[in-house]
Amino acid sequence: MTMTFRALLGATALCATAAGIAAAQDNVTLTIATVNNGDMIRMQGLTGEFTAANPGITVEWVTLEENILRERVTTDIATQGGQYDILTIGTYEVPIWAKQGWLAPLEFDEAYAADDLIPPVRDALSVDGKLYAAPFYAESAMVMYRTDLAEAAGVTIPESPTWTDIMNAAKAMTDKSKEQYGICLRGKPGWGENMAFLTAMANSYGARWFDTDWKPQFDSAEWKATLTDYLTMMNEYGPPGASSNGFNENLSLFQQGKCGIWIDATVAASFVTDPEDSTVADKVGFAQFPNKEGVDNHGNWLWAWSLAIPTSSDAQDAAKTFIAWATSKGYTELVASKEGWRAAPPGTRTSLYENAEYQKEAPFAEMTLTAINAANTQKASVQDIPYTGGQFVAIPEFQGIGTAVGQQFSAALAGQMSVDDALAGAQSNTTREMTRAGYIK
């Protein structure tokens, strides 16, 4: 696709603005820590466009698997190690780290068009009205499914399905003799891996992590129903070895035509519909994240992989220059000019969803925006709760607690313990840690 003249002018102006910001920092090397997913790898491939416009800045990438990235950047920023100039972090870390004084606030000129950032995403990355990270892409979660398999199995997945709809469809689509699995869900342990999905699923079942006194609720009927149904789907209709599968592994399975249904981040939509990488690109339908019958909650998943500057960086002006480039309208147009509008980083800018070319090329656009705007991270559960967050709990201790619970649930998926034992372990461990941290008096 050829970039329009107006878009080219916009990208040129952006580069000029970025070059001006960095003029005082010649011969600067930026070390950027990022996650190994498709959109970030695409950004690395376009780095030459940035360095050509900013010859005084060299960019070095540290690309890591999600769990390892979180561990390393958390350690570095907490110790003020200064190893990285730009961090790829999420909506969980930003408000916590900003309040600790670990992140530099971001202020851009008018050309950046900060008001174009989708309000729920911008608000999630701001503290006291100041932006502390710029969203590279944002996501909620939704159902992606094989329309051909659903038709062959005689099942319909409505636009707003219940979990009963999903389980019935997954059962009908399963044919393990053909390596055709009805459903693929995250099983790899981690607070941002299996617990991101299971927390959203629990929200949609009416569960909550803590009551208003910060007492864990894994002994509730809602959590038992969540974990029981999850294990039933995975064991009866899911792929083998699912306890090792995270986002990337399930993406690969779906692209290879081995999954009937995949429920995960909306950002995956561009990859499953990419004819160069997906064998089922023209056979994918989309629906809202499911809810349990009688529960008005579709998971409340909201996440943004964002770029932030640690206060320990000694190249903050150059870092801001790169972030302004990578999260701009001009970058979106650059991606579109090279790979088509379907590949544009989703979920961050209102203007993208008003773009007729994007709407035409991205059949998932409307459902993605609906999911993002519907997320209520201020009240993730239908029950009363003392915390914010959608598929996570926005407290510093959640990384450790969430990962420990994720290990229990992954072990249950691997057949190493029962539902009751996994929930009892989660209840006991979380109660101990929350008491130790001073939440439970």
Name the nearest CA neighbour of 145 among 30, 43, 290, 2.
290
Angle, helix 419-436 to helix 398-413, in steps of 10 degrees: 170
pLDDT > 90: what percent of the chain?
89
Per-residue pLDDT tens over the stretch 208-263: 999 999 999 999 999 999 999 999 999 999 999 999 999 999 999 999 999 999 99
**What is residue 103's predicted lDDT score, i.e. its pLDDT?**
97
Q: Residue 1: which pLDDT band, with cuts at 50, 70 and 90?
A: very low
pLDDT of residue 20: 43
Residues 6+ apart with CB under 8 A from 130: 98, 105, 106
Q: Which residues make Cβ contacts (< 8 Å) with residue 136, sequence separation at least 6?
A: 39, 40, 43, 88, 304, 305, 306, 307, 326, 327, 345, 348
Residue with tokens 């992590």: 209
Give 4's pLDDT tier (boundaries 50, 70, 90): very low
Q: For residue 192, which of 287, 91, 268, 115 has the smallest C-alpha distance?
A: 91
- pLDDT reading at 398 higher than 70: yes
Of the pLDDT bands very low, low, confident and very high (cuts 50, 70, 90), residue 200 is very high
Provide the percentage of residues in the chain whose pLDDT is more than 70: 94
Phi, psi of 209 (to 5 degrees): -70, -45
CA-to-CA distance for 185 and 195, rounded, in angstroms?
A: 11
Query: Of 393, 346, 371, which Cα lies nearest the Cα of 138?
Result: 346
Lay out the sheet containing 181-184: strands in order across: 181-184, 259-265, 141-146, 284-288
Residue type present at position 354: E
Q: What is the pLDDT confidence band of residue 25, given thresholds at 50, 70 and 90?
A: low
pTM for the whole structure: 0.85
Which tokens is 314 given?
């000694």
- For residues 221 and 78, the model is more confident at 221
* Ordered domains of the chain (ranges, CATH): 5-139+302-362 (3.40.190.10), 141-300+378-436 (3.40.190.10)
Euclidean distance between the first and the last CA atom of the chain, given in angstroms as a whole number: 61
Q: What is the mean pLDDT of the chain?
A: 93
Q: Is the pLDDT of residue 17 over 90?
A: no
Is the model's pLDDT at 407 over the cut of 80?
A: yes
For residues 265 and 286, the answer to whether their CB atoms sit within 8 Å is: no
Q: For the segment 94-153, what is each residue's pLDDT rounded down to a tens digit?
A: 999 999 999 999 999 999 999 999 999 999 999 999 999 999 999 999 999 999 999 999
Tell me how far apart the alpha carbons of residues 189 and 245 are, in angstroms, rounded to a whole number. Answer: 9
Q: What is the pLDDT of residues 308-366, one digit of tens each?
A: 999 999 999 999 999 999 999 999 999 999 999 999 999 999 999 999 999 999 999 99
Strand pairing partners for 307? 88, 134
Q: How far apart are CA 137 and CA 326, in angstroms?
A: 10
pLDDT given for residue 277 in this prediction? 95
For residues 166 and 120, the model is more confident at 166
Among 17, 50, 14, smallest CA distance to 32 is for 50
Contact 379, 203 (CB under 8 A): no
